[in-house]
Structure 1
Amino acid sequence: MARPCTEQILSQDYADFIVEYAGQEDALELRYAPDCYEAVESQFAIIHKRLPADGQLDPDAYNYAIIPHLFGLLDTTSMEESGILPVHRSPGPGYLGSGVIVGIVDTGIDYTHPAFCFTDGTSRILALWDQTEEGGSPPDGFAYGSVYDRAQINRALASEDPHTIVPEMDTEGHGTFLSGIIAGSASKDGMFIGAAPGADIAVVRLKQAKDYLRRFYFVSDQTPAYQENDVMTGVAWLVSLSRRLRRPLVVCLGLGNSLSSHDGSSKLSRYLTSVNDTVGNCVVVAAGNELGRSHHTSGQVASGTDFQTVELRVDEKETGFQMELWGASADVFSVEIISPEGEVIRRNTPRLGQSQTVELPFEGTQIYVGDKTAETEGGQFLLVMRFTRPTPGIWTLRVYGERIISGRFDIWLPMEKFIREQTYFLEPDPDKTLMTTATAPALIVTAAWNHYNGGLYIHSSRGFTADGFIKPDFAAPGVNVYGPLPGGRYGTRSGTSVAAAHGAGAAALLMEWGIYGRHVEDMDGNDIRRLLIRGTIRQSPYIYPDRGWGYGEMNLENTFESLRNVL
């Protein structure tokens, strides 16, 4: 076994996979024969295997469930509306998140921004892991990137050219903004303050996805995309940091992915749940920005000749895309596909693990249909469809029930930015449009609302989960929110990731109250979720829990008011 795995992690010649581990090295070696691997705690391992000479990932050559998904970005009156500023100003101790580590796994941070400095100009950033930078030393227990502690960041800030000492830069600005909303210091003009300005900040700058996975998922190299395994290791580093320092940790994830089961059973969802369920930890994730994108549809069929028609418009510039049809474990579906030019791919009764690839010679389109039911995490029926060089226009899918008990099915396209804007279902279902990590029952999931006009953010994803669990938990401000941008600037952003940052900041204040205030010394993310739900504000005419609002608008002041009545 090659140690460490630095070459395999960074090389475009190796594929990465996430597998079940449980510390059984011999079993892992026997089953997968990896070139190299590293464990993510004792639950999962990330293995690396050399790609074939053509650099392509064959969907039938590996277990579909171990292929990492790609995650994309989900882009101070807001603090007042969410009940956070009143908690800062409350009589008695007030809460600012002191003693709590807030961890952000995203595009990095502009560590030179005043929002992340104390009044004396030194850094509030506890540690920074740049997965893209190989000029320094990786964190202990990890094989790639460079980690910088507060002392190194302070030396950089005191120098004439900070980036010669700490070269990390946030070129997207997404991580900088979320970090600021969660825990940014007050601006000199009084126009901005983060939710937990007393917390310490730890940041992971994710490396961009490898080329082979971009090709596999048809994601442009111009689109920010991050591998599931890198997100997982980023969170694992935050956990190891908090354990070493014996400090509470709140993790914010403002990334998303719309392919997978939507029931919380994906590997990343399960790992985040294990983190969230640990005393002193909390994980907050964004609901997603998929409402109105027409990337989800659903239906119901009976056995036999009955079918349901699904129509899909394909953009003229679409080079390829993948979609997934999910159903109950006892059901079996098949599809007949009709191209815009009238060519027909006849239905075949799916058999476990079998697939077919069809070329449409007059259109130049290649279509792959594979039954991946045996490889799903929860045993659900899964049919994967891949369209390469699809003919633009209206495609028709006829979904048949081969062996049916429920007959309900869902089909998801990739999330926005991972597919062309004019590729969408003609009769979409706006429900169950949450990101896959937002369907994990234990995690705190935030929708976004407009605190200026009182409505939900126009693209805020709707619940519930595929198995009917209530998500999102609540809505937080996420429209035209003011916060820090790279280069020392401030500006506005919208999206459920912004709402998640508000939720993470509120969680940090509750963590300070619970653990350091000795009110709930064994507090974890489940406790915080329940407390935040208790404080939500509910408006007529909605019936709660609502698919868009969850249990209502997050209001931390209300949460503390409710605690006064029981403590």
Structure 2
Amino acid sequence: MDCREAILSDEYIDFVWKMDVRPPEAEWLPYGYCGQYISPNISVYYVRREEVFGNRISLPVGDYGVTYCHTQMDTESLEATRILTIQNQPALQLKGSGVIIGFVDSGIALQNPVFRTSDGRTRLIGLWDQTDQSGTVPDGFLYGSGYGREEIDSWLREGREYLPGRDENGHGSKVAAIAAGSELTNENFLGAAPEADIAFVKLKEAKPFIRKLERIPQDSIAYEEADIMLGIRYLDLLAQREGKPLIICLALGSNSGGHTGETPLGLYLTYISRKSGRAVVAAAGNEGNRGHHFYGTVPSETGYMDVELRVGPGETGFQVNLWGNAPGLFVTEVIAPSGERISRITPQVLSRERYDFVFENTMLDVQYELSEVISGDERILLAFQNPTAGIWTIRIYSVGNLEKGFHMWLPVTGFISSETYFIRSDPDTTVTEPANAEGVLTFAGYDARTNSIWYDSGRGYTRTGKVVPDVAAPAMEVSTIDMRGRNSTLTGTSAAAALGAGACALLLEWGIVQQNAPAMDSVTIQRYLIRGASRSENYTYPNKTWGYGLLDLYGVFQAIRGI
């Protein structure tokens, strides 16, 4: 089987691995793996899982191991953000000209007028369809098909019915339309950056075995972290060849990782964000009101804390991630609804154990990482299979008398039943990965009609206290165009991120294309955004809900002028 087939095959498992880590040759080389470079520190390998699981000692574990899965963050905004004011301001008239906005998502409706110029030509300068193996693989990659503007225009002139990049569920098209859609007078619609070039990566869906390994439903929308990172690399290389600045819009999220931004994807985005002419925009996620986060401090008097977890009927499986801040050390005990318990599970440097509940028909896999490879903090992964409905208790013991605070996360909405949640959940620290990463511009969501926070918007800060989100943008019923070309709306922080991406494109046009700030990068843009944000006298800033305030692009230019 060649690499193109292996990457797509469910018989091969995807591992994200540090470039400078070399597993022992005796255990690794016989597997016959394929590999793809991502950055100076990270690569992804595709290894035949039959042989890997036949020798479990050699199986990589931890965050530099099996690729995490992410899902989409969805469930009269140009005026609210004052983007329209900047588009029409006579001295500025910024509309994204000379800037690329890149998307990594479900697909894009190429035939849609919102992605075409007034004379019918495409506004896409590059498309990588990871699901399409019929065309030429993009340079530097091993799978999928890459297409340019001339090919797309040729298909549009022919009126071809089936086009590459086909949007499977409409999310990618809606997000791209909000950020960069052309003006459609008949639909009374205008995107935030209507003259920007568009680049798109249609992601392939997560493999069935990866879903099984991570207890994700087979019918859920799920994309692998490795494919997302490779998609971002494609966008970055495309921007280099075009010699244009690039905004990367990520309307995806995950509760995997320690919520510090130090996942492989988060570290890669930090690397990209520090390049001149690059900005990374991410949705804060829709987890604020879902009951998927717990924070606790183990009382010194008892030495333990009980975390009650309600499991809904019909739940087939899920994962619980516990993270403790160093130098804290925690031990778990799991008590089933019937009272049957798995006694204290002693942590080791790196270990896995499997437990079967006699009366519950439930299987529990426990993985300990005493010192997680990036942060050095303790991580405990509890993977439930066929959990009995009812109240489960996870008893957390603290060892020693130093750090006693810990966090726990359930999977994001879409990967778990709405009836499974922590009974005493905490809405804070619910910004999803990779929006916690350093250098990423993180957008919370609010309702522009009432100027109130959207109730599900992810809230900060990170587990280590970094301020996220940066600012808030409209997320409730934001106007867009669907994949059939009809007026529609999008609710969720995906919409907020799309508006933020469009606003950043206008800033890059002013800064780099017009040479007002030629070294502008993601961090520079963040400083501009927080200076110009609109703030209410009723709150102290920054805060966990709003960050530094509401996105106000006109306010940014007022701040630049010293007003």
Q: TM-score, normalised by structure 1?
A: 0.95
CA distance in 2, matches of 1:305, 1:351: 23
CA distance in 2, matches of 1:53, 1:93: 60
Aligned CA distance change for structure 1 residues 420 and 94 (closer, same or farther; 3 Å): same
One-letter amino acid matched to 1:39:
Y
1:31 CA drift (Å): 7.5
Tell me the equivalent position of 2:368.
Answer: 371
- Aligned match for 1:62, one of 55, 60, 64: 60
Tell me the equivalent position of 2:131.
Answer: 132
CA distance in 2, matches of 1:274, 1:115: 32
Give the match's secondary structure for 1:483.
strand
One-letter amino acid matched to 2:195:
G
- Aligned match for 1:253, one of 245, 250, 253: 250
CA distance in 1, matches of 2:304, 2:552: 46
CA contact 1:5–1:38 (8 Å) conserved in 2: no
Tell me the equivalent position of 2:42.
Answer: 44
Alignment of 1:397-408 (within 5 A): 397-408=394-405
CA contact 2:269–2:439 (8 Å) conserved in 1: no
Tell me the equivalent position of 1:15.
Answer: 13
Alignment of 1:303-382 (within 5 A): 305-382=302-379
CA contact 1:475–1:554 (8 Å) conserved in 2: yes
CA distance in 2, matches of 1:468, 1:211: 36
Q: Structure 2 regions of 5+ residues with no counterpart?
A: none
- Aligned match for 2:209, one of 209, 212, 215: 212
CA contact 1:21–1:45 (8 Å) conserved in 2: yes
One-letter amino acid matched to 2:447:
N
Tell me the equivalent position of 1:467.
Answer: 464
Tell me the equivalent position of 1:178.
Answer: 175
1:9 CA drift (Å): 0.6
CA distance in 1, matches of 2:72, 2:379: 26
CA distance in 2, matches of 1:58, 1:79: 53
1:370 CA drift (Å): 2.1
CA distance in 2, matches of 1:526, 1:228: 23
1:83 CA drift (Å): 1.0
CA contact 2:52–2:58 (8 Å) conserved in 1: no
1:245 CA drift (Å): 1.2
CA contact 2:347–2:370 (8 Å) conserved in 1: no
Moved more, 240-249 or 153-162: 153-162
Alignment of 1:158-177 (within 5 A): 158-163=157-162, 166-177=163-174
One-letter amino acid matched to 1:385:
L
CA distance in 2, matches of 1:176, 1:56: 42
One-letter amino acid matched to 1:458:
Y
Aligned CA distance change for structure 1 residues 248 and 32 (closer, same or farther; 3 Å): farther
Q: CA offsets per residue over residues 508-547 of structure 1, 9 Å max, x none?
A: 0000100122111111011111101111001132111111
Aligned CA distance change for structure 1 residues 320 and 518 (closer, same or farther; 3 Å): same
Moved more, 221-230 or 56-65: 56-65
CA distance in 2, matches of 1:463, 1:124: 36
CA distance in 2, matches of 1:55, 1:356: 15
Aligned CA distance change for structure 1 residues 11 and 87 (closer, same or farther; 3 Å): same
Give the match's secondary structure for 2:345.
coil
Alignment of 1:83-122 (within 5 A): 83-122=82-121
Tell me, yes or no, if structure 1 residue 482 matches structure 2 residue 479: yes
Aligned CA distance change for structure 1 residues 114 and 29 (closer, same or farther; 3 Å): farther
Q: What's the RMSD between the two structures over aligned residues?
A: 2.0
One-letter amino acid matched to 1:92:
A
CA distance in 2, matches of 1:56, 1:326: 29
Aligned CA distance change for structure 1 residues 472 and 32 (closer, same or farther; 3 Å): farther
Moved more, 37-46 or 381-390: 37-46
CA contact 2:102–2:249 (8 Å) conserved in 1: yes
CA contact 2:52–2:59 (8 Å) conserved in 1: no
Tell me the equivalent position of 1:285.
Answer: 282
CA distance in 1, matches of 2:434, 2:549: 20
CA distance in 2, matches of 1:259, 1:329: 19
Aligned CA distance change for structure 1 residues 269 and 539 (closer, same or farther; 3 Å): same
Aligned CA distance change for structure 1 residues 539 and 57 (closer, same or farther; 3 Å): farther
Tell me the equivalent position of 1:150.
Answer: 149
Give the match's secondary structure for 2:201.
strand
1:162 CA drift (Å): 3.9
Moved more, 300-309 or 359-368: 300-309
CA distance in 2, matches of 1:281, 1:54: 38
Aligned CA distance change for structure 1 residues 469 and 362 (closer, same or farther; 3 Å): same
Q: Structure 1 regions of 5+ residues with no counterpart?
A: none
CA distance in 2, matches of 1:97, 1:176: 18
CA distance in 1, matches of 2:148, 2:275: 25
One-letter amino acid matched to 1:378:
S
Pairs aligned (count): 559
Aligned CA distance change for structure 1 residues 147 and 461 (closer, same or farther; 3 Å): same
CA contact 2:347–2:369 (8 Å) conserved in 1: no
Aligned CA distance change for structure 1 residues 152 and 30 (closer, same or farther; 3 Å): farther
Q: CA offsets per residue over residues 58-80 of structure 1, 9 Å max, x none?
A: 799322222110000101x2001
Give the match's secondary structure for 1:394.
strand
1:290 CA drift (Å): 0.2
Tell me the equivalent position of 1:492.
Answer: 489
1:93 CA drift (Å): 4.0
Q: CA offsets per residue over residues 467-496 of structure 1, 9 Å max, x none?
A: 001100010011001101111222011000
